Every structure is written in structure tokens, then in C-alpha cells.
């Protein structure tokens, strides 16, 4: 129970900080020539609303609603970070290797991190990449 409440408080705090940052950031945009609010008005309203919502969320004690503790669950933050890193690598690698090898690597890496059978993961990687090639490159003419 205490873990869920702290999650809500953390969410509220992050929302509060984001709201303040958005509000301050939107103050940098110039007003209109005749002194009326300009492009910063709408984001600053969003910032204020986020700040208020974050504050209420931080102060409010919400009941436990989601993410009930699953006994089968084994949290793996490192695996999670690895998937994000693979995708970051995809962003940098695509200019050098093209889309198809990157897709194959992403499927392979994610499959291994999920814990799938290596033979099936390799097969999934090859089949999906081939389908992407046929559909996008051969049929739709998208440069990959």
C-alpha cells in the first residue's frame, strides 16, 4: 500500500516540476506587438494546470488501483534500460546500416532480453525483416 502511495506522490511531484518548467519555458516566448499574450499563452496555461494537478496528486492519498503486486513479476530495470539503449543505437545506426539490418538487430536484442528461444528469435528476426523488405521496398517503393 505504501509503495503505491509513494508512486502517486512521485507522479505528482514529477508533474508539479514539469508544470513549473513548462510555465517558465513558455514565459520566454515573445508577446504580440500590441502587448497581448502571444505563442506562450497556451503552453503557460497547460503548465499552470499541470502544476495544480501535480500538487493535488502529491497531497492526495489515492487508493491502490493498478499494478497490484504480481507474485510472478520479477522486475528487471537493467533489461528495460538495455532495450532503450538498443533503440538509441538504432537511431544512430540507421544512417550507416539502413533500416533492414537495424530491424533485425532490434528484434534479436528484444527477443533475447524477453527471454525467448534463440532459434525462434532468429527466425522471427529474419522473417519479419524479409516481410518488411517485400512490403515496403518492393511493393510500396519506400527507400529503406
Partner 1 sequence: MMEFFTWQSLLALVLGALYGSLFGAIPGLTATLAVALFIPVAFFLDPIVALPAIISISAVAIYAGDVGSIVAKIPGTPASAAYLEELSRVAKRKGPFYGLGLCAMSSATGGIIGTLLLIALATTMASIAKNFSSFEYFWIAILGLTAGVFATGGSTLKAVVSLLLGILFSTVGIDPTLGFPRFEFGQPDLLSGLNYIVAMIGLFGFSEVLEHVYRRAKGTDALSVSDDSPGRMFFSLPWIPIIKRKWMVLRSSLLGVLVGFLPGAGADIGSWVSSSVEKMTHRSEGDAEDEVIVIAGTSSNNAAVASAWVPSLALGLPGDTITAIVLGVFLMKGITPGPLLFEQQPELIWSLYLTFLLANLIMLPVFGYLTARMASWLIRIPLDILLSAIAGVCVVGAYVINNSSFDILIMTFMGIIAFGLRRGGFPLAQVVLGMVLGPILEQNFMVSAIKSRWDIMSFFDRPIALVLMALTIVIIMVGIRTQRLRKSTD
Residues 88-117 that bind partner 1 (CB under 8 A): 88, 90-91, 94-95, 99, 102-104, 106-108, 110-111, 113-117
- Cα separation, 9 vs 2, whole angstroms: 10
| 98 backbone φψ class: left, alpha, beta (φ>0; ψ -120 to 50) | left
- Binders in 71-90 for partner 1, by CB under 8 A: 72-77, 79-80, 83-84, 87-88, 90
Chain position carrying cell 497490484:
68
User: What binding mask, one character per residue, do residues 31-70 give for partner 1 by CB under 8 A, x or -?
Assistant: -x---x-xxxxxx--x--xx--xx-xx--x-x--xxx--x
Residue closer to partner 1 by CB (options 1, 74) is: 74
Binding residues among 7-36 for partner 1 as defined by CB under 8 A: 7-8, 10-11, 15, 18, 22, 25-26, 29-30, 32, 36
Write the DSSP string, 113-144: HHT--HHHHHHHHHHHHHHHIIIIIIIS----
**Minimal distance in Å, beta carbon 83 to partner 1?**
5
Cβ nearer to partner 1, comparing 2 with 111:
111
Distance of CA 9 to the CA centre of its chain: 20
Amino acid at each position: 500500500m505504501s509503495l503505491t502511495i509513494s508512486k502517486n506522490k512521485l507522479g505528482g511531484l514529477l508533474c508539479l516540476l514539469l508544470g513549473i518548467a513548462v510555465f517558465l519555458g513558455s514565459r520566454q516566448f515573445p508577446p504580440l506587438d500590441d502587448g497581448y499574450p502571444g505563442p506562450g499563452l497556451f503552453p503557460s496555461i497547460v503548465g499552470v494546470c499541470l502544476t495544480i494537478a501535480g500538487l493535488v496528486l502529491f497531497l492526495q492519498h489515492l487508493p491502490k488501483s493498478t499494478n497490484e503486486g504480481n507474485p510472478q513479476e520479477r522486475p528487471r530495470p537493467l533489461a528495460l534500460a538495455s532495450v532503450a539503449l538498443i533503440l538509441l543505437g538504432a537511431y544512430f545506426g540507421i544512417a550507416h546500416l539502413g533500416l533492414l539490418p537495424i530491424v533485425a538487430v532490434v528484434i534479436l536484442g528484444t527477443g533475447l532480453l524477453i527471454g525467448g528461444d534463440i532459434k525462434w528469435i532468429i527466425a522471427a528476426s529474419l522473417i519479419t525483416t524479409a516481410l518488411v523488405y517485400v512490403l515496403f521496398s518492393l511493393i510500396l517503393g519506400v527507400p529503406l
